[in-house]
Structure 1
Amino acid sequence: MLLLTRDLLRFRSRKGKIYPQFLDPDDASLQRAAEALVEVFRQASAAGSTRQELTEETSLQLQSQQLDNPIGRGLEKLLLDRSEFDTGDPAEQQRFRESIFIQARQALREEAKALNPNLKEFWKRVEILQSQPVAQIQEALYADLPVQQRLLQFSPIGAETLLHRYNCGQVQGLLLNSEALELRLEHPDPGPLRQLCKYLRFHQLLAQITTDEQGIFQLRIDGPLSLFYKTQKYGLQLANFFPAILQQKNWQLRATVCFRQKPPLQLQLDPSCGIRSHYQQFHDYVPPEFQQISDRLKERQPEWQLELAGSFVPLPGDRYCFPDFVLQHQTGASVALELFHGWHAGPLRQRLQQLEEVQGVPLLLGVSNSLSKNPELGVALETSSYFKTFGFSFRELPTVDKLTKVLQSWWAATQQ
C-alpha cells in the first residue's frame, strides 16, 4: 500500500492551517534521482538481492543524489511497497532450523570423541547429513529474518509518476490523522460523479451528500479520529479514496488534521495542488461472497436480481445516498440496499432520522451487529419503525433469509 508513515510526512503549519510540502514532478534533477532509485530496485530484483543488500545500495544512491533524508526515504518507502520479498513458510523454516541443530548436536558429539576436533570437520559432517553445500545451509538457517529476505519481484514505475505518488502520499498520510473530510464539487459531470461514488462504496465509506440550486454537491465523510471502531482500517480506506477525488474537475477539499497533543489544523486543497491521480477508470467489482448471495437469491426468489448500484437515491432536504446494491424486480420495480458497517455509526444515526421523516423511499438497510451493540444506536434501531419493517442486521455478510424477508415487506408496502 503506497502510503507514507508519519515520520516521512513533510508539511508546515501556520495560523491553524497545514501545508503539505510537495515535490515538483517536472524538476529534471528530481526525475533523475527518482529514476536512479527505480533502477536500483530493478537490478536488485533481477539479482535476487536480500533486503539488507537493497538497503545498502539504496543508501549509497541517495547519498550520491544528495536527496534530503525525508524525501529520499519517502521515495524508498514507496518503492518498497511495490516490492515482494520471499518471507518463506515460518513453520517450515522452524522445522529446518531444528533439524540442523539436532544434526549439529550429534555431529559435535562425534567430533568431540576425536583427538583433534575442528570446525571445518564439523561443517563437513553437517553437509553430508543435509546433502547440501555448507554455504547454502548457513544462508538458509536465518533466511526468514527481514534483512535476509530476498527480493522476488518489483513493479517498475516511471520517475514522474513516482514523484506524483509521493505528493499523493503526503496528503494520504495527513488524512490518516483526520477527523472529517469535506468535499465540494462545482457542477460535476454525472459520469465522473458516479465514478467517485463507486470509489466511496468500494472503500466502504459513507458520505452525507447534499446539493443546492446552483448544482454544487457537498460530501462530508467522517475521518478515522472521529471513530472508536477499527480506526486504522477506516483511515486507510479514507486515504485510498483521495486519488479518486483527483479525477474530478472543480473540487475543493477541507479536512481537520489532528496530531497527538497538538491543536487541530485545517487542510485545504483544490486542483491547483497539481497532483495527478494514478487511478484508472473504475470497473465494478463484485466480491465472490456477494456473488454467492446474488446466486442464492436468484434460486430462492427468481423474480429478483441483485446488482451493483449505479445511481443516487433522493432523501429529504436535498440529500442523497449512494447505496451498495439495487434489487431489481422482473416487473421493473427496484429498491436499493445500503449496508452500514462497524465504522458507520454517525451515518446510520442520520439515515434513521431521515427515513423517519418521509415515506416511500425505495431503500433497504443492512446494519452490522457491531453497531447494534452501541447502547445509543441499539435503542435507535429498536425504536425505528422504518428499520423494523425495511431493515435487518448481519454479522459479516447479509443472509438470503433476512434479505428475502425485508424484500417481501417492501413489496407488500408498494402494493397497498
Structure 2
Amino acid sequence: MLPTELLINRQNGETIIPKRLPINSEICAIATELIACFQNAVGSTQGDLDRQLSEFEGDSPDYRVKRGLAHILKSSFCTFEVVSPLEPKELRQRVFTLSAQAVPSHQASEATLETLSITLSKELNHEVLPQQIRVGLYADLQENRILTQFEDPAPEALIHRYNLSQVQGIFYRASQMALNAHRNVPGEYKLLFRYLKLFQLMTYVEGDADHGFTITIDGPTSLFKPSTRYGLAIAKLLPALLHVTKWSLSATLQSRDPYSGVPKTGRFSLNDRCGLETHYPPGKPYDSMLEAAFANRWEALKTEWILEREVDLIPIPGSVMIPDFRLVHPDGRTFLLEIIGFWRPEYLQKKFAQVRRAECENLIIAISERLNLDKAGVKVANVPAKVIWFKDKLSPKAVLEVLE
C-alpha cells in the first residue's frame, strides 16, 4: 500500500474521490520504464536504485505518481538483503578492535582488512576478500542493502496495483464502514469472514445466506485514540472483498483540514463494479488436509448422500458460522458437518460457543480425540449437535451411520 504522503484524492462536497490511473500508452510507458529501472538495478544497492529513481522523477509535475509506482515496486516486488561475511555489527566490532592496535593510516587500514580476511576465511571455511569486508562493514544501513531479487510485473498489473492502493488509502482514517455482501456463493463469504478475522477487525454481522449480510466495521477514528495501524487493517480487507461477486460499501471518514486543522467529515462508497483488481490469492478448496482427505474418501463411498462444500451458513447473533460441508439426500434430508481437528484452546472455546448459539438441529460435529477439551474448558455434553469422535482420519462410514 501507499504511505499517506503519496495518496492523491480530491473532495467533491463530502465525497472523497481517489486518484486512478488510466491504462493507456502513456501510463504504460512510464510503468515499463520504471520496471526496467528495477530490473537493471538487481545486484546494486538500494541507495543506487534510489538515485536512479530520483533522476527518473526529475522535475516532472507528476512526480508523485512516479514515486507511488516505484514505492509499490519496491515494497511488493523487491527483495533487499544485507550482504556481509558476518553480521555487520559483529564485523564492525572485529574491525575496530583489530584496527585499534595500530596507528591510524591508509597502510594500517589495508593491513587490518587483509589480516581479518585471512582469519574469517579460516573461520568460515571459504574465501573472504578484504573488499567483501569493506562492503559488509555498513551493509545493514538501508541504502546499502542489496537488491537480490525482483519479480517484474506486467505494466498493466502495476497500474492496477497502484489504483487499488489509492483506494485502500481512503480507509486509513475511516470512522465506520458498512459493508453489504449480497447473495453470493457461500465459499466467497467464508473467504471474506476469514480475512475479517485475520485482520482482527471489530465487526457486527447481520443477515443470512439467502438475503446477504450487512457487516458493520468500526474504524480507527472510532476508537478512544485514532490508530493508523487499525486503518491499515481495514485497507487490507479491500483486496479480499474483490473476490466476492456482489457487494457494496459505504464509509465515513474523519480528517483535518491541512490549513486550519478543523475536523471535517468525508464519505466514500464503492461496489463490485469498481473495476479494481485484487492481488490476493483465491480461497483454497479446503482449509486443511483433514477436510480434503475426508472429501476424497467420501467420493469412493457408495451412498445416495451428496457431499457439498461450504454451501450453507448459520447466522448467529453478531456473527456467522460456516460449516465445512453440507450433506444432502434425494428425499430432502439435509445435515451440516463441521470438522474440528487440531486447534488452540482459544479457538475451541469460540467454536463451541458458536455451536451453542447457533442452536442448529441438523448439525454434526466431528471432533478429534487428540484435542484436550477439558484444558480448553469445553463441555461436549452441553453442545446441541450430533457428535462424532475420530483419531487421525474422519471415517465417512462413521458420518453415514449418524445420517442413517
Fold in common (TM above 0.5): yes
Opposite residue 6 of structure 2, the aligned amino acid is: L
Which residue number corresponds to residue 9 of structure 2?
11
Q: Which residue, 192, 196, 199 being the options, matches 1:200?
A: 196
Counterpart-to-counterpart distance in 2, 1:86 and 1:241: 29
Spell out, residue by residue over 1:189-228, the C-alpha distance to the aligned partner (whole angstroms, 9 max, x if none).
4443444334334444464333489935422222233335
How far 1:230 sits from its partner (Å)?
Answer: 10
How far 1:124 sits from its partner (Å)?
Answer: 3.1
Which residue number corresponds to residue 71 of structure 1?
65
Change (3 A) 1:225 1:326: farther
Q: Which residue, 371, 374, 378 being the options, matches 1:401?
A: 374
How far 1:310 sits from its partner (Å)?
Answer: 6.9
How far 1:244 sits from its partner (Å)?
Answer: 2.2
Structure 1 residues without counterparts, runs of 5 or longer:
112-118, 292-307, 342-347, 363-397
Say whether the 8 Å CA contact 1:198–1:282 is kept in structure 2: no
Say whether the 8 Å CA contact 1:323–1:336 is kept in structure 2: no
Which residue number corresponds to residue 129 of structure 1?
115
Say whether the 8 Å CA contact 2:182–2:211 is kept in structure 1: yes
Spell out, residue by residue over 1:360-394, the C-alpha distance to the aligned partner (whole angstroms, 9 max, x if none).
368xxxxxxxxxxxxxxxxxxxxxxxxxxxxxxxx
Say whether the 8 Å CA contact 2:186–2:313 is kept in structure 1: no
Say whether the 8 Å CA contact 1:324–1:336 is kept in structure 2: no
Correspondence list, 1:274-285, <5 A: 274-283=275-284
Which residue number corresponds to residue 85 of structure 1?
80
Aligned-residue Cα RMSD (Å) equals 4.3
Q: Residue 98 of structure 2 aligns to a residue in which SS?
A: helix
Of Structure 1 and Structure 2, the greater helix share is in 1
Q: Which residue, 162, 165, 183 being the options, matches 1:166?
A: 162
Opposite residue 313 of structure 2, the aligned amino acid is: F
Say whether the 8 Å CA contact 2:84–2:135 is kept in structure 1: no
Correspondence list, 1:12-411, <5 A: 12-24=10-22, 26-45=23-42, 48-63=43-58, 66=60, 68-81=62-75, 82-87=77-82, 92-108=87-103, 119-131=105-117, 133-205=129-201, 207-211=203-207, 215=211, 217-227=213-223, 231-260=227-256, 261=261, 262-283=263-284, 311-315=312-316, 321-323=319-321, 360=359, 400-403=373-376, 405-410=378-383
How far 1:143 sits from its partner (Å)?
Answer: 1.2
Change (3 A) 1:14 1:91: farther
Structure 2 residues without counterparts, runs of 5 or longer:
118-127, 292-308, 327-334, 362-370, 388-404
Say whether the 8 Å CA contact 1:181–1:221 is kept in structure 2: yes
How far 1:286 sits from its partner (Å)?
Answer: 5.7
Counterpart-to-counterpart distance in 1, 2:179 and 2:94: 59
Q: Residue 379 of structure 2 aligns to a residue in which SS?
A: helix
Which residue number corresponds to residue 125 of structure 2?
none
Change (3 A) 1:40 1:310: farther
Counterpart-to-counterpart distance in 2, 1:99 and 1:77: 36
Change (3 A) 1:213 1:361: closer
Per the normalisation by structure 1, the TM-score is 0.66
Counterpart-to-counterpart distance in 1, 2:191 and 2:242: 12
Opposite residue 87 of structure 1, the aligned amino acid is: V
Which residue number corresponds to residue 302 of structure 1?
none
> Runs in 1 of length 4+ with deviation above 4 angstroms?
88-91, 228-233, 284-288, 308-311, 324-328, 332-337, 411-414
How far 1:266 sits from its partner (Å)?
Answer: 0.8
